[in-house]
Amino acid sequence: MNGLLLVNKPIGISSFDVIRQLRRSTGVRKIGHAGTLDPLASGLMLMLFGTATKKAETLTKLDKRYVAEVQLGANSTTGDNEGEKTPVSDRVPSFEEVEAAIAQLTGEITQVPPAYSAIKINGREAYKRMRAGEAVEMPPRRVTVHEHVLISYDYPRVEVEAHVSSGTYIRTLAEDLGKLLGTGAYLTGLVRTECGRYSLQEAVVLDEADAAMVEQKLLDI
Structural domain spans, the chain: 3-60+197-217, 64-195
What's the sign of the alpha-carbon dihedral 47, 51, 56, 59? negative
In words, the CATH class of domain 3-60+197-217 is alpha beta
Residues 20 and 101: their CA atoms lie apart, in Å, by 40
Q: Catalytic pick from 38, 176, 207, 210?
A: 38
| Digit-coded pLDDT (tens) for 7-64 | 999 999 999 999 999 999 999 999 999 999 989 999 999 999 999 999 999 999 999 9
162 has pLDDT over 80: yes
Kindly list the distances between the CA atom of residue 220 and the CA atoms of 154, 167, 195, in Å, as whole numbers in the listed order: 43, 25, 16
Going by C-alpha positions, the residue among 11, 68, 7, 6 that lies closest to residue 39 is 11
Residue 9 contacts residue 31 (beta carbons within 8 Å): no
Say whether pLDDT at 118 is over 70: no
Look at strands 3-9 and 42-49 and give their pairing.
Answer: antiparallel
64-195 falls under which CATH superfamily? Answer: Pseudouridine synthase (3.30.2350.10)
Instruction: Return the closest-CA partner of residue 162 out of 190, 137, 199, 136.
Output: 190
Burial 157-184 (b: 16+ CB within 10 A, else e): ebbbebbbebbbbbbbbbbbbbebbebb
Kindly report whether the peptide bond that precedes residue 156 is cis, defined as omega within 30 degrees of 0. Answer: yes
Is 17 catalytic? The answer is no
Mean pLDDT computed over every residue of the chain: 93
pLDDT tens-place string over residues 164-202 = 999 999 999 999 999 999 999 999 999 999 999 999 999
3-state secondary structure of 18: helix
- Taking the model in full, what pTM does it have? 0.91
Domains 3-60+197-217 and 64-195 belong to one CATH topology? yes
CB of 142 closer than 8 Å to CB of 109 = yes
Residue partners of 34: CB distance under 8 A and separation at least 6: 45, 46, 48, 55, 56, 59, 60, 62, 195
CA distance 114 to 97: 25
